[in-house]
């Protein structure tokens, strides 16, 4: 990580030194091998001291995340109940288009059904054997920076205490299939080395619905604290992530939960 020049823990402020180089939006195979195992090594070391790893961080452990997801769904339901969508602009027989920042009634029902299944999913994830630790929170290649000799991970604004597979899955949205396959393999190999007997590949498969729901929660927190002028660019983010989570499961609007 960058060199820390100063900190103000009471107010959540951190001053970091400038990191020379370029952001690695298109990481090479060498970049992956340089960055990913070092993050895992740091996370494994921090996990050995749970109290130190958790101090001062948002709690994003999986049971707490479920509580945040349910609270978000309650909030969305309440907001939509008190502010119904506008009617159709055209002829009366044309249905109104669902706003991108609102869930349909069916989607909201499906999201609640999915949330009810999360404790069972968490049991499976826990059985994979990976420990809670410091998570970066936005571990995509655009936050890997290199001057050609040293790769540094930057932007810790979303850091939290939680499950490392949330970081492990993050790069997939930013790289092609071949590079993602390498990242997943390097990440899993590193965790197996630090936690023998663990099942990191399985953790990456299981965590995906929780991954998107975690970002729905985080994006809502972001919306709650940004300038009004910035809100139009991010208004749809929480709902979009919930829809991505629904698309990964057998829970569909109007479907029956197995």
Give per-residue pLDDT as tens, 113-146.
999 999 999 999 999 999 999 999 999 999 999 9
CA angle 104, 106, 107 (to 5 degrees): 65
Could you count the other beta carbons within 10 Å of the beta carbon of residue 170?
Answer: 21
Instruction: Using pLDDT thresholds of 50, 70 and 90, give the confidence band for residue 256.
Output: very low
pLDDT at residue 168, as a whole number: 98
In a domain, 253, yes or no: no
Across the range 29-55, mean pLDDT stands at 90
Instruction: Using pLDDT thresholds of 50, 70 and 90, give the confidence band for residue 1.
Output: confident
Instruction: Using pLDDT thresholds of 50, 70 and 90, give the confidence band for residue 83.
Output: confident
Q: What is the pLDDT of residues 167-224, one digit of tens each?
A: 999 999 999 999 999 999 999 999 999 999 999 999 999 999 999 999 999 999 999 9
Q: What is the pLDDT of residues 211-242, one digit of tens each?
A: 999 999 999 999 999 899 988 888 999 999 99
Average confidence score pLDDT of the chain: 89
pLDDT at residue 5, as a whole number: 96
Ramachandran angles phi, psi of 22, nearest 5°? -130, 150
Could you count the other beta carbons within 10 Å of the beta carbon of residue 156?
Answer: 18
As a dihedral over the C-alpha atoms of residue 36, residue 41, residue 47, residue 51, rounded to 10 degrees, the angle is -100
Residue 6, pLDDT > 90, answer yes
Domain count, the chain: 1
Q: Domain of 111?
A: 17-83+100-247
DSSP conformational letter for 226: S
Across the range 41-68, mean pLDDT stands at 88
In a domain, 94, yes or no: no
pLDDT at residue 35, as a whole number: 96
In a domain, 7, yes or no: no
The domain spanning residue 130 has which CATH number? 3.90.1200.10
Question: Is 13 strand, coil or helix?
Answer: strand
pLDDT at residue 251, as a whole number: 43
pLDDT at residue 84, as a whole number: 62
In a domain, 233, yes or no: yes
From the list 31, 1, 40, 38, the residue with the least C-alpha distance to 19 is 1
In a domain, 2, yes or no: no
46-70: b (≥16 Cβ within 10 Å) or e: bbeeeeebbeebbebebeebbebbb
In a domain, 45, yes or no: yes
In a domain, 257, yes or no: no
Across the range 232-253, mean pLDDT stands at 83
In a domain, 54, yes or no: yes
pLDDT at residue 167, as a whole number: 98
Across the range 37-62, mean pLDDT stands at 88
Residue 94, pLDDT > 60, answer no
Across the range 31-36, mean pLDDT stands at 96
pLDDT at residue 79, as a whole number: 86
Instruction: Using pLDDT thresholds of 50, 70 and 90, give the confidence band for residue 97.
Output: low
């Amino acid at each position: 990580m960058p060199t820390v020049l100063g900190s103000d823990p009471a107010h959540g402020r951190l001053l970091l030194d400038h990191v020379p180089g370029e952001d690695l939006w298109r990481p090479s195979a060498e970049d992956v091998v340089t960055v990913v195992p070092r993050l895992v090594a740091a996370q494994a070391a921090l996990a050995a001291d749970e109290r130190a790893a958790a101090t001062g961080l948002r709690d994003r452990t999986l049971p707490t995340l479920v509580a945040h997801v349910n609270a978000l769904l309650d909030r969305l339901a309440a907001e939509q109940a008190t502010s119904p969508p506008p009617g159709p602009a055209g002829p009366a027989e044309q249905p109104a288009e669902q706003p991108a920042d609102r869930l349909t009634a069916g989607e909201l029902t499906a999201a609640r059904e999915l949330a009810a299944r999360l404790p069972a999913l968490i049991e499976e994830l826990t059985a994979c054997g990976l420990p809670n630790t410091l998570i970066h929170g936005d571990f995509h290649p655009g936050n890997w920076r290199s001057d050609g000799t040293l790769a540094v991970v930057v932007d810790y604004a979303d850091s939290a205490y939680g499950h490392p597979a949330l970081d492990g899955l993050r790069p997939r949205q930013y790289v092609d299939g071949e590079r993602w396959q390498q990242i997943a393999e390097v990440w899993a190999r590193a965790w197996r080395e630090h936690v023998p007997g663990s099942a990191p590949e399985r953790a990456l498969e299981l965590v995906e619905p929780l991954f998107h729901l975690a970002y729905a929660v985080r994006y809502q927190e972001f919306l709650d604290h940004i300038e009004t002028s910035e809100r139009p660019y991010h208004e749809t983010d929480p709902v979009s992530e919930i829809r991505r989570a629904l698309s990964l499961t057998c829970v569909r609007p109007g479907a029956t939960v197995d």
